[in-house]
């Protein structure tokens, strides 16, 4: 992979991580309790845990892939 493409792909992976973190925050704000809320405390906690768990796993994968791509762009040898 050409270094320029690897660098852009690595930075893109970090941008996706930021967007996924923003989605977690937006989901929590959207489900925050108010007068017309249909979720009780337990359902809200379980939905936050489920959504945040999946999205945080995706953030972790994107960070690992982004770091590897930036290392490829710098020319650092990567072990398999």
Q: List pLDDT tens digits, range 12-62.
A: 999 999 999 999 999 998 888 877 767 788 888 999 999 999 999 999 999
Q: pLDDT value at position 80?
A: 61
What is the distance of C-alpha 54 from the center of its chain?
A: 9
Q: What is the pTM of this model?
A: 0.83
The residue segments making up the domain with residue 32 are 3-74
Q: Tell me how many degrees the CA angle 31-36-37 measures, rounded to the nearest 5.
A: 30
Confidence of residue 65 (pLDDT cuts 50, 70, 90): very high
- Would you say residue 9 lies in a domain? yes
Tell me how far apart the alpha carbons of residues 33 and 44 are, in angstroms, rounded to a whole number: 8
Residue 63 has pLDDT above 90, yes or no: yes
- Would you say residue 80 lies in a domain? no
- Residues with Cβ < 8 Å from 50, sequence gap 6 or more? none
- Specify the number of domains making up the chain: 1
């Amino acid at each position: 992979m050409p270094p320029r493409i690897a660098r852009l792909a690595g930075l893109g992976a970090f941008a996706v991580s930021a967007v996924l973190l923003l989605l977690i925050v937006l989901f929590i704000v959207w489900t925050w309790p108010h007068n017309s809320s249909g979720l009780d405390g337990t359902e809200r906690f379980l939905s936050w845990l489920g959504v945040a768990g999946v999205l945080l796993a995706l953030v972790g994968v994107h960070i690992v892939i982004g770091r590897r791509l930036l290392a490829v762009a710098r020319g650092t040898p990567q072990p398999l």
